[in-house]
Amino acid sequence: MATEKINLTAPEGPVGTIAEDAQTTSENTTSTTNNDTEIDAEVTQMSENFADEEAALAADEAGLDIGEETAEEEAAPSSSDDLNGLSKTELVALFAQKIESEPVQTLRSTVEAIKIAFYKQHRANIEAERKAFLEAGGSEEAFSPAPCADEARFKELFALYRNERDKYIAELEANKENNLREKLAIIEELKELINSDETMNTTFARFRELQQRWKEIGLVPQQNVKDIWETYNLYVENFYNFIKINKELRDLDLKKNYEIKISLCEQAEELTLETQVVEAFRRLQKLHDEWRETGPVAIEFKEALWERFKEASSRINKRHQEHFETLKAEQTKNLALKLELCEKVESLATRPILSRKDWNKASEELLEIQKVWKTIGFAPKKDNNRIYERFRAACDKFFEHKREFYAGQKSEMEHNLAIKNELCAEAETLAMSEDWKRATEELIALQARWKQVGPVARRHSDIIWKRFRAACDKFFERKAAHFATVDNQHEENLRQKQALIEEMRAADVKAGGFEAIKEFQRRWSQIGFVPIKFKDALQKEYKAIVDGMFATLRSSERDRSMSRFRERVSTMKSSGQLRSERERLFNKVRQMEQDIALLENNIGFFSKSKNAEALIADVREKIERTKRDMAELIEKIRLIDEQEGHNA
């Protein structure tokens, strides 16, 4: 019976192995199923790491670039407002309040700070919207951020600020041109004073008035500052040299100017000790403006004072120049370093990466590059945004390729899930089969196929595995229960066959004859299978008893046959037929000898055939039967010879 050869514990090996693999697969697919989240987290982390640069870039892309800084804006104090913790709405309100309450030329640093703070939050809000949209099943291409009332209001305020600033700059330039015209007019009036017919006191009073007016007039265009100051000083000197004024008044005026310029020299020398180089330079420019607005000193002090003031100015200017040269060199070096990092990220983004392990390694490399980037200062202003845009584009390309890779992994896992669902369905069908041998083989084959199928998403892994395992367990539990019953029946069959063998040993086969043997054989075949470990020995014992019964019957039958033949021999002797009977029997023996020789010769040929064992056994049985029949004939011939006095 085929099912007797099934090893009931065999399926537990493959199933158990798969259980371990399922656990490993679940662990190995943890990062795979969460990769969209991980990549988004990496991108978000990058945005947080470069928040100020990202915000500045986003504001520029939104058209909120302020433009070049003016001298007046540079001289204005930096913003001291604490913007931490303010919402976008609060930032917009602060922006509106600043525009309304403060001069536009003082707002540049404040506006820059508010702009960065606003777009930090704005970008974070958009990324949160994008993430929620994608998690809800939306596609990247279909995402569009919701309109933001705060951003719209911010842009309105920025446009108002830019308009006011542009108007201020235009007015400032117009005022400078007007100031230039007024100062040129004062110079013309100075020329006229030399030829005036007025009294000395009146002329000198007008001269003082012109000096005061000159001081009160504001800045002129930068390109005219030097020329107009030198021209003014020339005519002031001419006034003192060519107009015959009271020496006492002149000396008093020169002394006053001397004291002012001494003070300016002292202030300039103090600035050489100022640690803030840029601030010292800015304040020096104001001292130079005051120097230019101050009148002449006595000729004997003029050169020495100027050299003193110039020497302090040179030291400050040199420090300022060195500061900016150092800053420029550092920024140029920063640009080179950032270019190198861009090239590394671009190389990383184009590198063929084919496994999750390699992607993790590449992500760690990118993270290290980003950390290094954060330690590098600004590049030159004209290059700073451009180099950051290049760096960000390379990072975005890397993350896009990573998303594409894991999207492919996701598609493959969905395909694997479909295959495993099919395997579950097949296993569930086999679970109810009662063709134990075929179903066992097919289930083991399904288990082998299961192990060859790749991983599925973690959220499906345990569920699909438990479904498959449950189907396999159900079949093998049914099979075990079935064969437990079969084993009990086999034990009972063993007892019945052992009892039948004992009955056959005690039976008088001569009395029952061949029919009795056939009845025993029928009863034996009706009893079912016995435990496999007893089968061969029991079958061998049964066969030996049956063979013995047949031998006993054949011997008995032979004796009866010989008795009948003796009676015939007596009859044939009286009728003279013994000779012909002997001849007939002798010829028959010869034929049997030939038949035996032919059968034995055929055994050599049968050994080369596919079913050799069965054929050879059949031939050998036929040879033995023929030999028995031949021996009986020879004995009959010997009986005839005894009756005739012949030797066989």
Strand segments, DSSP code E, in 392-526 are none
Please tell me the pTM assigned to this model: 0.43
Selected residue with higher pLDDT from 51 and 48? 51
Residue 629, pLDDT > 70, answer yes
**Is the predicted pLDDT of residue 30 greater than 70, yes or no?**
no
Residue 648 has pLDDT above 80, yes or no: no
pLDDT at position 647 over 60: no
Q: Is the pLDDT of residue 492 over 90?
A: no
Residue with tokens 């012109």: 210
Q: What is the mean pLDDT of the chain?
A: 79
3-state secondary structure 138-203: CCCCCCCCCCCHHHHHHHHHHHHHHHHHHHHHHHHHHHHHHHHHHHHHHHHHHHHHHCCCCCHHHH
- With both helix axes pointing from N to C terminus, report the angle between 458-506 and 532-575 in degrees, rounded to the nearest 10: 30
DSSP letters along 41-63, please?
A: HHHHHHHHHTHHHHHHHHHHHTT
- 636: tokens are 């009959």
Residue where the block lists tokens 């007016």: 213
Identify the residue whose tokens are 């395909």. Answer: 415
3-state secondary structure 445-460: HHHHHHHHCCCCCHHH
Averaged over 506-516, what is the pLDDT? Answer: 75
- Residue 58 and residue 116: Cα distance in Å, rounded? 9
Helix and strand tally (H, E) in the chain?
A: 21, 0
Give whole-number Cα distances, 548 to 463, 542, 543, 559, in Å. 64, 10, 8, 17
Helix, strand, or coil here: 34? coil
Name residues whose C-beta falls within 8 Å of residue 110's C-beta, 6 or more positions apart in sequence: 79, 81, 98, 102
Percent of the chain whose predicted confidence (pLDDT) is above 70 = 83
pLDDT, tens digit, 9 for 90 and up, residues 64-112 = 777 777 766 666 666 667 777 888 898 889 889 888 888 877 888 888 8
Residue 78 per-residue DSSP state = P
3-state secondary structure of 615: helix
- Is 572 in contact with 636 (CB distance < 8 Å)? no
Sorting pLDDT into bands at 50, 70 and 90, what band is 263? very high
String of b and e for 159-185 (b: at least 16 CB within 10 Å)?
A: eebbeebeebbeebeeebeebbebbee
In a 10 Å sphere around its CB, with 0-12 CB exposed, 13-18 middle and 19+ buried, how is residue 565 labelled? middle
Q: What is the pLDDT of residues 214-223, one digit of tens each?
A: 888 888 888 8
